[in-house]
Amino acid sequence: MSPTSPGPHFIAHTSPAVSSVLLHDYFGPLTTADLPARVAVSTSVCELDMEDCSTANISTQTSVARPSMKEAGVNTVYQRSSDKSVQTNIEHVNSSTQCCLPTLVFEDIMDNKDKVNFYTGIPNGETFQAIFDEVSNDRDHLKREVGERNHLRYIDEFFLVLMRLRCGLLLEDLADRFRISKTTCKQIFNKWIVFLHTNLVPLIVWPSRQQVNAAMPNDFRQLFPRTRIVIDCTELFTHRPASLVSQTLTYSHYKSTMTWKALIGITPHGVLSFVSDLWLGGVSDQQITLRSGLLDKLERGDAIMADKGFEISKFTTGPVCMN
């Protein structure tokens, strides 16, 4: 791509000094009014007094921060090469604006459904955008719950959280990918988890018997017509607790490590209809099922489809029929 035809995310400018600051539209459009006056009018390194660089060795690279430029909020870096006539000047604003962009943002993958699914677990970019629009519709509420930072856009914070949940990436890895500190990355993740729980739980609705029957797949209708819900437990890995008692309670014999466990239920046509609270990994699937409140939602004649490991039928005398 030629210098006269920059990419869609770059802003062209005639001044190299200004162009070095207006690198990317990630933080919104900038104008010369946003820059110190010295940067706006500076078009050549020749306008600067070069006495401080006169003693620099030809084979070395020297960084000079002139007091007058510091007062203007600008750092100046001079680089010398083996050719004495070649000398470049790079100027950037020394402010709270982050000029080191993330190595990956949502727009980089939004048109590739395979990558969207790989990084987030969401099938495509349109669904990702729809979920984000739903949870971020009230921006004032979003700012109160998540906070307002100058590091990342909200959509990329949401992207970061889903990447951690889907791929199990460590905070250090995500901090490096998004060019933020580990502390900031941790704050973003913790805030968004609470925010998403509050806003997404109402989307998990227990459907009526009539609604389940209306959407029942043909295979279920013929073989398991009374099925109300299909259940299974899922386990999430966690760090080893310091307490030996906690280690015993969180140890999963099935996973041979420390976990949290939750009961997930879907309708026969695949819609999420029940999610239990998190339990310690040492609790059995049967106990979670009996104590999660799921059985209270069922009606007489309803059937639960589960694998043979549950065996909850012998623990209850209620109206539940096990498939």
Domain extent listing, the chain: 16-93, 106-203, 209-322
CA distance 27 to 293: 47
Q: Where are the alpha helices (DSSP H) in 35-137?
A: 37-41, 67-71, 113-120, 125-135
Cα–Cα distances in angstroms (integers) from residue 251 to residues 117, 189, 241, 246, in the given order: 30, 25, 10, 8
Task: Let me know if 68 is exposed, middle or buried by CB neighbors in 10 A (0-12, 13-18, 19+).
Answer: exposed
- In the chain, which residues have pLDDT < 70? 1-99, 309, 311-323
pTM of the shown model: 0.58
Closest alpha carbon to 209 in 223, 226, 221: 226
Predicted local distance difference test score (pLDDT) of residue 138: 85
Euclidean distance between the first and the last CA atom of the chain, given in angstroms as a whole number:
62
Which stretch of DSSP H or E encloses residue 198? helix 182-200
Query: 87 - beta bridge partners?
Result: 80
Q: Whole-angstrom Cα distance, residue 27 to residue 111?
A: 21
Nearest to 153 by CA among 175, 178, 117: 178
Rounded distance between C-alpha atoms, residue 113 and residue 124, angstroms: 4
260 CB neighbour count, 10 Å cutoff? 17
β-strand partners of 236: 260
Q: What pLDDT is attached to residue 69?
A: 41
